Amino acid sequence: MRRFGIFRDKSVETTVDDILKSRARSRIYVYLLRKKGAMTEDIIRGTKLHPSTVRETLSKMYHEKQIYRKKIKNSNIGKNPYIYYPISPIELLKRYTAEIENRLNKLASLAYRDEIKNYKPVKINIQEKMY
């Protein structure tokens, strides 16, 4: 499906949705990733999400360091707009991996409650290959 010049891959959005736990966050993240950054109005048009949803989600994602922003100098009167950029997918995966490791380790520690000296923490490695 074509939307404003970008191809929307629902399988990618679903995967990102599993990580970010929000349909709106996943749509915004994938949009920013494909566009390599965008202003709020572009994100609203490109994702077809409600403007207040986009603004609120951008604010939450920024405070949780899932995206970052840069201010654009504007000669017009009013606020200077931001361009939003996503963190790298590898960084997002590393954070998600750490969250999964913590959950798995909590579960594994229940099995070794009586045998703590034999407990080995779960470790998941993510490696980036350059082609």
| pLDDT tens per residue across span 17-75 | 889 999 999 999 999 999 999 999 999 999 999 999 999 999 999 999 999 999 988 77
Q: Residue 54: which H helix or E strand, with range?
A: helix 51-63
Whether residues 15 and 49 share a domain: the answer is: yes
CA angle 15, 20, 22 (to 5 degrees): 95
Average pLDDT of the segment spanning 80-104 = 90
Contact 116, 74 (CB under 8 A): no
Q: Count Cβ atoms within 10 A of the Cβ of residue 47 and give its class: 0-12 exposed, 13-18 middle, 19 or more buried.
A: buried
Whether 119 shows a pLDDT value over 70: the answer reads no
CATH number at residue 43: 1.10.10.10
d(CA 44, CA 5): 14
Q: Which domain holds residue 107?
A: 88-131
Number of folded domains that form the chain: 2
Asked if residue 48 and residue 98 are part of one domain, the reply reads no
Q: Are residues 92 and 38 in the same domain?
A: no
Is the per-residue pLDDT at 9 higher than 90?
Answer: no
Greater confidence, 10 or 57? Answer: 57
